[in-house]
Structure 1
Amino acid sequence: MGFIELLYVASLPVIKVLLITALGLFLAIDQVDVLGADARKRMNNLVFYVFNPSLVGSNLAETLTSENVLTLWFMPVNILSTFILGSALAWIVIKITRPPKHLQGLILGCCSAGNLGNLPIIIIPAICKEKGSPFGDPDLCHKYGMAYVSLSMAIGAVFLWTYVYNIMRISSSRAKLMEISESQPETIDSAKDAYTLLLPNTEFEEKVSFSDKIKLQLRKILRNLNFKTIFAPSTIGAITGFCIGVISPIRKLMIGNSAPFHVIEDSASMLGEASIPAVTLILGANLLKGLKGTSTPVWTIVGIVVVRYIFLPILGVVVVQSAINLGLVQKDPLYQFVLLLQYAVPPAMNIGTMAQLFGSGESECSVIMLWSYGLASIAVTLWSTYFMWLVA
């Protein structure tokens, strides 16, 4: 396929996302108020607790088997790579732009955690259905593509709620402690755990070596981890789907039209189909706050956009192509495309939820999301076009 054909195939899914996102934005404005704050919260709960787990679980159960599961081992490594490289680049952005202290965790989160589930779940099926897709039969493309993306969503959720959650928690705590210390003459120790090593800090830095900090604080990670958020419903859905797909006796009972309990899998699949339009509408509605503007530093936004849409995708090509050349990744163009796409998506939407939870950087996060997802229409289209050419 030529560049124009690939560009056409890659642009249509993004256009569909933009159209539904615009509808969500329209439904959220005060004059319409169909997706107001209360409605978004209730709809978010439906997506979080019902739709997403059903989508992830049903897709993994249908496509994963004991034979093919071992071929997907590189995906967790690839996702971990996106978090590590994103964090390193975020640290550089913080050093260069010198943002306010309360935004440091937000910047680390936006640069390290991409939208590894919701957006690819919209993009992959749309690409598979387009005439001229380089991934072959539309039904097989959809079947396996959704399995890859569901696994990506589940793994990404684990990293997001273990790593980014604690980064933003520490950053928020530090900012609040600094405010207190500025208003009171007493010295206040900052919250300490291994995550603080990533957050540049001179006011509360202890004069100990890097290795000593790690040794002293490793046990605090486990104490501070919120296992309730780690095992989010999507993660539980992934574990359930994984077990059903891989354990042959259970699979025979639930998967396939002749299976005795196939109605359970069919029901979960039906619920999961509601996830994509619901998530896209919520995405548009959440961007409304960003349109109202705030005092987010311009260079902070520029730094995050450059990291997510220029440097991370370039590094992603290097990582994935190296893995392919070393024989670590199966020769499946669709699987390779999903691995590459994980480096070129905008920040995870749950970062906004965390900012709201900790009461730090919520309005700034809305502006960052607005620009990130607005520019995604161009960046994701161009990178998707290049990735399809590369793997095909």
Structure 2
Amino acid sequence: MALVLLDIFVVALMPVLKVLLITALGSLLAIAQVDILGEEARKHLNNIVFFVFNPALVFSYLAKSITYKSMALLWFMPCNILLTFILGSALGWMIIRFSRAPDHLQGLVLGCCAAGNLGNMPLIIIPAVCREKGSPFGDPESCNTHGMAYASLSMAIGAIYMWSYVYNIMRIFSSRSCQGSEPDVSMPCIHSAGENRNPLKIQKSELLPLQQFSSVEDHVEVDVSTFEGTRKVHVPAEVKKFLRMVWTNINPRTLFAPSTIGAIVGFIIGTTPLLRKATIGDSAPLHVVQDSASLLGDAAIPTVTLILGANLLRGLKGSSIHLPVVIGILAVRYIALPLLGMVIVRGAVYLGLVQSDPLYQFVLLLQFALPPAMNIGTMTQLFGAGEAECSVIMLWTYVLAAVSLTLWSAFFMWLVS
């Protein structure tokens, strides 16, 4: 029994080590002596990932692996991922309330708690787990085929939720200007202790990063409670206020981010027999489209991981973020959500809502135990608020992911096998 557990632990450890090695390379490329991934280079790479690599990755995998039959079998996954976002947001809101997180960091806290790395990590972990000797998921080739379909759907759904929900949450909470002062895109709005901090001006961010850094118009007044002072506000009123703020400030244009468009096109081609026959497969007349998208998409994972490593270097220099905020995010992502995930997934299996495939159940459980999405860092750079604090959060969450994700992966593999 101990030998089996050790084998499972080694299988779960290998994918995490691969991510950490590439992350370390990104940090090395960002140091001043090398300066290949400096601040300007990271911004340009973020734009390429946002507009080219991520959409191509989502499109290529979905078009190839998603069909009507697979959608009928995997219908629970969108619900499962939605639950990770909802539960994460609720727990993040509790962190904001009890840790008294500053106004300009509230969106960052909510985003880190709500959005896990549903794209890159499953795409790295699942094939590696399938290839390792002693894997509990059977034949490596069959495991890899089915596992990539699960990971592709996870990535696509995660991208839709990320750029429709988390993007707008962070856009609303990102304070870009102070009342009576010029906007500063590099630093969040800082108020003195005697100022009234309720009226925050939140800039309506456009989808294009280069446009939003230069635009200083079209501001919306949003009343945000800071939970400071002696004023007592009931939790239901705070929740209603938060939901009303989100509903009235969502920009419909941001719902169709490039990754979301790539997912929609991939779904259409994958589930339309005529388009699928014309595009997918070596003998398809338009297979060059799929091949080109796959070639571009393959660059997304290493590029984003390198950027993450470069951003983590900034976290080593520290920031003004409060320690309770970091500890709260770590507790949500690595303790609370995995425990809730076990209850949800095992309950769904018991009720017959989830098929008995161990690999599918493993993917569903894994979605609750992932570190924050790397695109959170992209969003902080797009909005120009909380970049240093995001680097610190990412540093600690991904360093501890080497232990947490390995342990949870090993436990989940034992649980479903």
The AA in structure 2 aligned to 1:127 is V
1:157 to 141, 156, 159: 159
For residue 379 of structure 1, what is the aligned residue in structure 2?
Answer: 404
- Distance, in Å, in 2 between the alignment partners of 1:344 and 1:198 is 30
| Matched residue, 2:98 | 96
- What amino acid is aligned across from residue 390 of structure 2 in structure 1? C
Q: Give the C-alpha shift of residue 4 in structure 1.
A: 0.7
What residue identity is the alignment partner of 1:135?
F
Matches for 1:280-299 after TM superposition, within 5 Å: 280-299=305-324
What's the counterpart of residue 387 of structure 2?
362
> What SS does the corresponding residue of 2:68 show, helix, strand or coil?
coil
Change (3 A) 1:301 1:203: same
The answer for the alignment partner of 1:244 in structure 2 is 269
Q: Whole-Å Cα distance in 1 between the matches of residues 133 and 11 of structure 2?
A: 8
- Deviation of 1:129 after TM superposition, in Å, equals 2.0
* CA deviation after TM superposition for structure 1 residue 53, in Å: 1.8
Counterpart-to-counterpart distance in 1, 2:337 and 2:201: 30
Structure 1 residues 236 and 199: CA distance shift in structure 2, 3 A: farther
Matched residue, 1:301: 326
CA 1:216–1:337: 2 relative to 1, 3 Å: closer
Alpha-carbon contact 2:174-2:383 (below 8 Å) kept = yes
3-state SS of 2:281 partner = coil
Aligned-residue offset at 1:211: 8.0
Q: How does 1:28-177 map to 2 (within 5 A)?
A: 28-173=30-175, 176=178
Deviation at 1:90, TM superposition (A): 1.8
Instruction: List per-residue Cα deviations over 1:155-208 (Å, max 9, x = no partner).
Output: 2222223332333333334995695696668x964579xxx8996646899999
CA separation of 1:339/1:258 partners in 2, compared to 1, >3 Å: closer, same or farther?
A: same
Conservation of the 8 A alpha-carbon contact between 1:51 and 1:271: yes
The letter for the 2-side match of 1:359 is G
* TM-score calculated relative to the size of structure 1: 0.88
Q: Contact 2:198 / 2:223 at 8 angstroms: preserved in 1?
A: no
CA offsets per residue over residues 122-168 of structure 1, 9 Å max, x none? 22222222222222232332232222222222222222233323333
User: Relative to 1, partners in 2 of residues 1:208 and 1:262: Cα closer, same or farther, differing over 3 Å?
Assistant: same
Q: Is the 8 A contact 1:115 1:347 kept in 2?
A: yes
Q: In the alignment, is residue 7 of structure 1 matched against residue 9 of structure 2?
A: yes
Which residue does 1:327 correspond to in 2? 352
Structure 2 residue 301 is matched with structure 1 residue 276: yes
**CA deviation string 1:246-289 (max 9, x = no partner):** 11111111122222222222222222222222222222112111
The answer to whether the Cα contact below 8 Å between 2:9 and 2:406 also exists between their aligned partners in 1 is: yes
Q: Distance in 2 between matches of 1:80 and 1:197?
A: 27
Whether the 8 Å contact between 1:157 and 1:230 is mirrored in structure 2 is: no
Contact 2:92 2:114 in 1 (8 A): yes
Which stretch of structure 1 is more off in the superposition, 369-378 or 356-365? 356-365
- Map Cα deviations across residues 20-60 of structure 1 (whole Å, 9 max, x no partner): 11111111111011222222222222322222222221211
In 2, are the aligned partners of 1:181 and 1:188 still within 8 Å (CA)?
Answer: no
Displacement of 1:83 in angstroms is 1.4
Classify 1:144/1:216 alpha carbon distance in 2 versus 1 (closer, same or farther; 3 Å): closer
Partner of 1:67, secondary structure, is helix
Cα distance change on mapping 1:87 and 1:380 into 2, 3 Å: same
> Gaps (5+ residues) in structure 2?
180-188, 203-221
Write the distance in 2 (CA, Å) between the matches of 1:182 and 1:211.
Answer: 25
Structure 2 counterpart of 1:9, one-letter code: V
TM-aligned CA deviation for residue 346 of structure 1: 0.9
Structure 1 residue aligned with 2:25:
23
Q: Unaligned stretches of 5+ in structure 1?
A: none
Helix, strand or coil at the partner of 2:402? helix
Q: Give the fraction of aligned pairs with identical amino acids, expressed as a percent.
A: 59
CA contact (8 A) 1:253 1:259 kept: yes
User: Which residue in 1 is equivalent to 2:217?
Assistant: none
State yes or no: 1:343 paired with 2:368.
yes
Q: In the alignment, does 2:291 pair up with 1:266?
A: yes
Partner of 2:253: 228
Q: Secondary structure at the match of 1:331?
A: coil
Aligned residues: 387
C-alpha spacing 1:135/1:201, structure 2 compared with 1 (3 Å): same
Structure 2 counterpart of 1:317: 342
CA distance in 2 between partners of 1:215 and 1:368 (Å): 27
Please report the TM-score for the alignment, with normalisation by the length of structure 2.
Answer: 0.83
The equivalent of 1:388 in structure 2 is: 413
